[in-house]
Amino acid sequence: SITMASEAVAVLLLVFLSGSTFGIKLEGNGYTDVLIAINPVVPENPLLIKRIKDMVSDASSVLFTATEGKFYFEEITILVPPNWSQGDYGRTKTETYEKANIVINEENRAYGDQPYTLQYGQCGSESRYTHLTTKFMLDDELIKLYGPRGKVLVHEWAHLRWGVYDENDDGGFYMEPKIVIPGVKKGYTWNQKGFSYGDSRRTFLEPFFLRVYAVFLNCIILSFDKLLFMYTLKVTRFCSKKTHNREAPNAQNRMCDNRDVMDVIFTSSVDAKANVQPLKGPHPAPRFTVMQRGQRVVCLVLDVSGSMHGSRILQQQQAASLFLTTIVEDNSYVGIVTFTNYATTLKPLTVIHREESRTQLVNYLPVEAIGGTDICKGLKKGFEELCKDNGNTMGDEIILLTDGESELDCVSEVKESGAIVNTIALGPSANKELKRMSEISGGKYFYASDNLDQTELVNVFASLTTTNGDFTHQTILLDSSGMKRKGILNGTVSVDHTVGNKTTFLVLHESQSPEDIEIKSPSGQIYDFIDFQPSSISKTHSLVIQGTAETGDWTYTIKNTLSDQSITITITSRAVSEAIPPVTVKAYMSQQSIDGSKPMLVYAEVNQKGVPVILADVMATLESDAGDQYQLELLDNGAGADAFRNDGIYSRFFTTSKKGRYNLKVKVQRKDKGKNNGQVRLKRHSVAPYVPGYVIKGKSPIVMNPPKPPFSEDDLQDDVGSFTRTAIGESFSVSLPPDLNAEIEEDKVMLTWTAPGEDMDQGTADSYEIRVSMDLEALRGNFSGAHLMNTSDIQPLEAGSTEEYSFLSSYIINAEPETVMFFAVRSRDKDSLMSDMSNVAKATKMLRFVPFVQTTSTSTISQYPSPNLKRSSGSNVVAVVVSVIGTTAVIIAVLVVSRMRLNRPGNTPHFTETQVSTSLL
């Protein structure tokens, strides 16, 4: 069905224009909301800010030229660390380090100071981020190695925004045809085999420019020039079909089916539907804003309406308790608000500075539920509390949990607040507009079932961390599991040497306490029931391991043999020290809504400070609000959905025909595998090419750079031992696949499709927009420019119903035989918001022939005037005429061969003359 408008706001604005979940917007020809974030390990340095601005300004001009005047950088936000204090920095809104498109950080072992972009795969898909180091930004000597910063940034932007790939990878540099290099001794040329002079090969310069910058995807038009103090490439534009070398052995051709960069940008990338025209005149200079995120300020806005009574209010209390005692960071401010058909402040903003403050907040969590539901009143009360620290809500957070379906008439207020609203929909009846509200505020959206034996809600609260790029102070979810029956719940969780501080075992139960709990350390130390801290109100038992937890396998056993009840256990920990970064896992879906138009992929990124962790067992669990559950083993083998083998990014395709909301949980385990244990990069992602040499202006000879340090897997070996991690991804939705169908019966065109809803598959659409074209690509590329059908008499049916619409073909044009028509539909909601375009349906009015008439007269072909075909919206008259002539020729050939076979007395062919009469009806 056609995705409905309210959902389409998120898809259209946040995906097609703003770059999926990454925040980048394309407004006209300029990119806005580009976020560059500096890691807190970087010392405060005003020069770094200046260098960032200079780099982007230079890159904007390079980008403008390389894309033939279509794109430039317009608005850039620079996010500085919270510990910087010397500058006059503005206050952030929804900008956070984890949302950064470009990060400035110290070098890591996998890349050193080489700029790179983390690409998950799939040509045309946006990448996660671009990584630049402080040394790259401040040390001009690195310009000799990688080229001017502006050009490097544009090179990486092509990977980041458009999902194109390098052409200077392990397949080797391939340049064609020969290029004469000014400034080098006359007669020397360079081709794919190296420098040469006439017929004599000169190998002394063979490494020069071998992995040179050009490789701006090897297919750009390039020339050499003395620029500044070094040889570099003057980039004029990205390659097109005319300039692309489809034979070059490189990643661009392998990953993008031998397509050129311009083709990927304008047909497959996130900017493909923008229909950007070249800018007339010069582009404006970029505008910069330097901002700083303050201490975390968050308000829990919790639903206590009557529908939350019983198990739901208990689940809410247990999950919120975990958040307050373990997850929320020290020195954060936290408040608690509840709502029914009115809202109440249970606890004003309180700073987290000791365990006592955490316990105090837990004691204020609600335990009773009664009354109606008004989500907006709860949000407004939350905003009131957030204002009490500094008078505004900019950059503050709301964590909203509700199971209700109340009206959401405060979406505009949420957007204007500048606060980040993370929403949790508990159970199948929660308002589906919550997803839209989270997206427009820069927050996250989660769906959690209300089954007590599941750990979904606890896992969601465990994932609501915020980070400035320093994972050493962040709580990490190691494992969670549960059961709903009498019996024994047991399992094993591995604690590796990168974690171990504040390791916590939290047991949740539904009614009476379990009979016994036993935790056994790797050395055999036993922690039993008496070591746990109980809470009769929240029905929890918690154990915090003092000091640093032992490295190795911990086992747990929970005995519950007296009653059928839900029992769950959740294990969390923190980094062992600030000097050792922990192994982390991030879970993602390739898109937040599936409509059947393109495949959905599940990703899990496993690394230790940018260095991938390989050879892990990764299992993804996806569960819908209808209870459908799917388990997928994610792979890192370089096949199928996985782009690169052993890069620490595990992936798999996810397909389903069952609509609804889905949640995502990824569990990663790794057992000690002897000498193969550890982490290693066997395949690097897209990187800035290394320039082997340069020329000082006005001087010769060429100055060679030091050889690029060889890449060694041994440098990346790090025995992390056995470990366990669990990660939660944002929830996503599956809508009905596009199913528009078109048929022609005599002179009538019949269109049928499944009715969408006001919100995806819920409610009723307000109206439809149907357009038709004789040109398939014109309809796909410019829906609004196609012929508009009159649909004023159509009253949309309820979601899921079958819609039918018919009309005479002459209503569009004088549709002659063999006329091909293409149709597409969009739906509109009550706020006049449009959905995405449906699939394109094709209808053809076919030719019909009269029977053949045999005679004994001279062979002739009756000639009839060509049909009076009228051109409309790109109709292809020539194709129709050729089709008619071709069809007639085939008929003649068939008749001749048939007669030859029927009248053959021997080996001598014998012809019977016939007359073939055709008629177009």
pLDDT digit string (tens) for 279-307?
988 999 999 999 999 889 999 999 999 99
By the 8 A CB rule, do 871 and 835 touch? no
Return the amino acid letter for 7. Answer: E
Whether 807 shows a pLDDT value over 90: the answer reads no
**Nearest-angstrom CA–CA distance, 845 and 921:** 11
The second-level CATH assignment, the architecture, of 472-581 is Sandwich (2.60)
Residue 227: phi and psi, rounded to 5, are -120, 125
Alpha-helical regions (H) of 120-196: 134-138, 141-146, 149-162
How many C-beta atoms surround the C-beta of residue 535 within 10 A? Answer: 17
pLDDT for the residue 712: 54
Of 142-146, 300-304, 378-382, the least confident: 142-146
pLDDT, tens only, 788-798 = 988 888 889 88
Cα torsion angle, 906, 911, 912, 918, sign: positive
Q: Which of 433, 430, 427 is nearest to 414 (CA)?
A: 433
Pairwise pLDDT comparison (834 vs 568), residue with the higher score: 568
By the 8 A CB rule, do 827 and 756 touch? yes
Burial class (CB in 10 A: 0-12, 13-18, 19+), 590: buried
First to last CA, the chain: 36
Whether 213 shows a pLDDT value over 50: the answer reads no
- The helix (run of H) or strand (run of E) holding residue 733 is strand 723-734
Pairing of strands 584-589, 516-520: unpaired
DSSP conformation class of 312: H
Q: Which of 548, 541, 444 is nearest to 500 (CA)?
A: 548
Tell me how far the alpha carbon of residue 528 is from its chain's centroid: 44
The chain-wide mean pLDDT, for the chain, equals 78
DSSP output for 5-72: HHHHHIIIIIIIITTTTS--EEETTEEE-EEEEE-TTSPP-HHHHHHHHHHHHHHHHHHHHHTTTS-E
pLDDT, tens only, 878-900 = 333 334 344 444 444 433 334 43
Query: Which tokens go with 97?
Result: 């380090």
pLDDT for the residue 23: 83
Whether 695 shows a pLDDT value over 80: the answer reads no
**Nearest-angstrom CA–CA distance, 567 and 454:** 9
**Nearest-angstrom CA–CA distance, 298 and 291:** 19
How many C-beta atoms surround the C-beta of residue 580 within 10 A? Answer: 14
Return the amino acid letter for 606. Answer: V
Which of 199-208, 239-248, 698-707, 870-879 is the most confident on average?
239-248
Alpha-helical regions (H) of 214-273: 251-255, 261-267
By the 8 A CB rule, do 100 and 37 touch? yes
pLDDT for the residue 658: 80
pLDDT for the residue 905: 36
**Nearest-angstrom CA–CA distance, 442 and 439:** 5
Residue 252's pLDDT band, with cuts at 50, 70 and 90, is confident
Query: Which tokens go with 921?
Result: 């009806």
Coil vs helix vs strand at 646: coil
By the 8 A CB rule, do 757 and 763 touch? yes
In the block, residue with structure tokens 């391991």 = 545
Burial track 112-151 (b if 16+ CB lie within 10 A, e otherwise): ebbbbbbbbbbbbbbbbbbbbbbebbeeeebbbbbbbbbb
472-581 and 583-673 share one fold: no
Rg for the chain, CA atoms, rounded: 32
SS (H, E, C) 736-750: CCCCCEEEEECCEEE
Burial track 267-305 (b if 16+ CB lie within 10 A, e otherwise): ebbbbbbbebeebeeebeebebebbbbeebbbbbbbbbb
Coil vs helix vs strand at 154: helix
Question: What are the residues whose beta carbons fall under 8 Å from the beta carbon of 693, sequence distance 6 or more?
Answer: 205, 207, 208, 209, 231, 702, 703, 704, 705
**Nearest-angstrom CA–CA distance, 190 and 168:** 16
Q: Which residues pair with 48 in a beta bridge?
A: none
- Looking at domain 295-466, what is its CATH homologous superfamily? von Willebrand factor, type A domain (3.40.50.410)
Mean pLDDT over 36-53 rounds to: 96
Q: Which CATH class is domain 583-673?
A: mainly beta
**Nearest-angstrom CA–CA distance, 570 and 454:** 11
Percent composition of the chain: helix, strand, coil (DSSP 3-state, to 5)? 20, 30, 45
- pTM score above 0.85: no
- Domain spans, the chain: 18-168+258-292, 295-466, 472-581, 583-673, 741-845
Cα torsion angle, 622, 624, 625, 628, sign: negative
Question: What are the residues whose beta carbons fall under 8 Å from the beta carbon of 838, sequence distance 6 or more?
Answer: 1, 2, 738, 740, 753, 824, 825, 826
pLDDT, tens only, 354-371 = 889 999 999 999 999 999
Q: What percent of the chain has pLDDT over 90?
A: 45
In the block, residue with structure tokens 């904007």 = 60
pLDDT for the residue 921: 27
Whether 10 shows a pLDDT value over 80: the answer reads no
Protein fold of 741-845? Immunoglobulin-like (2.60.40)
pLDDT for the residue 488: 94
pLDDT for the residue 300: 98
- How many residues in total does the chain contain? 921
Whether 805 shows a pLDDT value over 70: the answer reads yes
**Nearest-angstrom CA–CA distance, 360 and 358:** 5
Of the candidates 74, 126, 156, 605, the residue annotated as catalytic is 156
The question of whether 156 is a catalytic residue gets the answer: yes
Residue 682's pLDDT band, with cuts at 50, 70 and 90, is very low
